[in-house]
């Protein structure tokens, strides 16, 4: 339940930011999920709904962007197409080149970043 831990981080970060700004509600949250987390947007959304339940973030619109992952084969000396396995696991450590079978280097981001959250500020 890796995505629950990430969703919990998001809920905590947004609640802390609301506190700092004196916001009463959040309309929408833009999230970027690291490509190397190996999560699907619907998994992240479901996890967020679980973690947000019972907080002021319940029902907030969530916009999710997945970060890209690039693979590079050092043996071929060129980048290769790579698709993350659609599984609930982080990207595997050893991904082999489809052409020569050497282990490829993967580049991408991990973790979850809150790009923006549109907050409703209380009346001054
Ligand atoms: Zn290769």
> What is the CA(77)–ligand 1 centre distance, in A?
7
**Burial class of residue 15 in the structure, from the number of CB atoms within 10 Å of its CB (0-12 exposed, 13-18 middle, 19+ buried):** middle
> Are the beta carbons of 37 and 89 closer than 8 angstroms?
no
Q: What does pTM read for this prediction?
A: 0.79
Per-residue DSSP letter, 88: S
CA–CA gap between residue 17 and residue 23 (Å, rounded) = 8
Which CATH fold topology does 1-68+110-124 show?
A: hypothetical protein PF0899 fold (3.30.2320)
> What is the CA(93)–ligand 1 centre distance, in A?
16
> What is the CA(100)–ligand 1 centre distance, in A?
4
Confidence band of 76 (pLDDT split at 50, 70, 90) = very high
What was the pLDDT predicted at 45? 96
> What is the CA(75)–ligand 1 centre distance, in A?
5
> What is the CA(36)–ligand 1 centre distance, in A?
20
The distance of Cα 104 from the centroid of its chain, to the nearest Å, equals: 23
3-43 pLDDT per residue, tens: 999 999 999 999 999 999 999 999 999 999 988 888 889 99
> What is the CA(72)–ligand 1 centre distance, in A?
8
96-123 pLDDT per residue, tens: 898 999 999 888 888 899 999 999 987 6
71 CB-near residues (< 8 Å, 6+ apart) = 79, 80, 81, 82, 95, 104, 105, 106, 107
């Amino acid at each position: 339940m890796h995505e629950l831990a990430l969703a919990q981080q998001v809920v905590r970060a947004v609640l802390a930011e609301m506190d700092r700004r004196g916001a009463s509600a959040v309309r929408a949250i833009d999230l970027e999920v690291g490509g190397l987390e190996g999560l699907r947007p619907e998994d992240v959304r479901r996890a967020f709904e679980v973690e947000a339940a019972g907080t002021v973030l319940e029902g907030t619109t969530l916009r999710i962007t997945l970060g890209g992952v690039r693979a590079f084969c050092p043996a071929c000396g060129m980048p290769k197409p790579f698709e993350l396995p659609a599984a609930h696991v982080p990207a595997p450590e050893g991904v082999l080149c489809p052409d020569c079978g050497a282990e490829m280097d993967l580049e991408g981001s991990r973790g979850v970043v809150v790009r923006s959250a549109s907050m409703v500020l209380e009346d001054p």
